[in-house]
Chain A
């Protein structure tokens, strides 16, 4: 099972200099993201599969070791929250 996640329509991921953090913006709401959540969301582009996202993150953070479990857990959670959906 290798699905392709995308942000839900109306959700926007962006850098906020004043908060010194990435945020997820949606109708009348905002979530301040920690670094790992931001790193994963930055790779969700509606074209890459979960496996590809994991591979890119492991290349970006070679010292972190295997990221498969963390990424899949985050994506599961983000799906539950309806921040993202599968293409």
Chain B
């Protein structure tokens, strides 16, 4: 079987396609939380048949042999996989820098210690807000916040570098100062203040999540002031504020270019150039059927948007195409119906008015948290039953 015997020296492997330096292992779509901005596909409940332990080990070995150095265990909630310690140990043994991206739900001190013994390098804990009430309302779980706090402290006490991640949206964007002060008290090394990007469930809930331009401006000012305060105090805590695409005039260089650095393997073995790409009308290969090497270098799915010969105008003649690669294919697809188009974030795009309309809507949005569609199996089934 191909998947367990990485082939060597395919024709394309000798071309100018670089190695996949980052491997994201989405080991499951199962998750105890229900965040309405989840980046998993809307029809995640339609995905069964998770890769087995042996199949994941094979993916990890092939990826490492190809040059992947960073490995993320993600999901869903990766902690629901009972074989996680085994996968971590294998990954570390292979030489990966291993990152566990978790909600903290299902974690306990014993697991924190067991993962460390297995060689885990880093645990990123996500929060939904700086206070229990809002946090738990967004997560759709009454006990989430206290558990997250306890686990952040356990991660710190075990000596891991600590990254705390907050997804920012119109209902928590006023908490910047509180969030940063909480992170400082917990002793975080890195804090990601990631303004929601509109994929998966977040696209479905965009009107109820997107901050207004004014909210964003205030938040950015607060983050900058906090950054200065931390620098003056000699703190090593780094704040990473991710601004939303929807307030840019030029698109991001999505994934640093299609099939350039990032390789995601979804729970069922589907290999993707990014975790959102399975929404695209493109056939993506599966690690159960092809070697990772053939997938990366030779598969039509991964070669689909490499280079720039696929670009229509205005990208084709644009002098910035080598910088942003036309932006995000998923965003182009969701907003224009054709994934070849320029990312409408770009103000040169003929579809940029759709971004402007979303901004105007954000200025007048009134939806509360109760109006959002929460990410759970019941809601997901609605999307594939139609």
Contacts and interface: CB of A to CB of B under 8 A. Distances in A.
Interface of A: 8-12, 14, 16-19, 23, 25-30, 82, 85
Interface of B: 19, 21, 66-67, 69-70, 72, 95, 97, 99, 121-122, 124, 159-161, 163, 189-190, 236, 238
A14 B190 contact: no
Contacts of B67: 16-19
Given A9-B161, A10-B160, A10-B189, A30 B70 contact: yes
A10 B66 contact: no
Contacts, number: 54
Given A27-B161, A27-B189, A28-B124, 7 more contacts: A12-B97, A12-B121, A16-B67, A19-B19, A25-B121, A30-B70, A82-B238
Given A10-B161, A10-B189, A28 B66 contact: no
Contacts of B122: 10, 26-28
A27 B95 contact: no
Contacts of A23: 69
13 contacts: A8-B161, A9-B159, A12-B97, A17-B67, A25-B121, A26-B122, A27-B163, A27-B189, A28-B99, A28-B122, A28-B124, A30-B69, A82-B238
Given A23-B69, A27-B121, A18 B19 contact: yes
B262 to A, nearest CB: 12
A85 B124 CA distance: 22
Contacts of A14: 95
A42 B163 CA distance: 26
B121 A10 contact: yes
A25 B159 contact: no
Contacts of A28: 70, 72, 99, 122, 124, 163
A40 B136 CA distance: 47
B26 to A, nearest CB: 15
B66 A18 contact: yes
A85 B234 CA distance: 12
Contacts of A85: 236
B124 A27 contact: yes
A45 B70 CA distance: 23
B236 A30 contact: no
A11 to B, nearest CB: 8
Nearest to B240: A28
Nearest to A12: B97
Closest 5 CB pairs of A and B: A10-B161, A18-B67, A25-B97, A27-B122, A27-B163
A43 to B, nearest CB: 21
Contacts of B160: 9-10
A18 B65 CA distance: 8
A8 B236 CA distance: 10
B359 to A, nearest CB: 30
B189 A30 contact: no
Nearest to A16: B69
Contacts of A16: 67, 69
Nearest to A27: B122
Contacts of A26: 97, 122, 161
A17 B66 CA distance: 10
Nearest to B99: A28
Nearest to B68: A18
A15 to B, nearest CB: 9
A3 B238 CA distance: 24
B121 A30 contact: no
Contact of A27 (B19, B21, B66, B190): B190
A25 B19 CA distance: 17
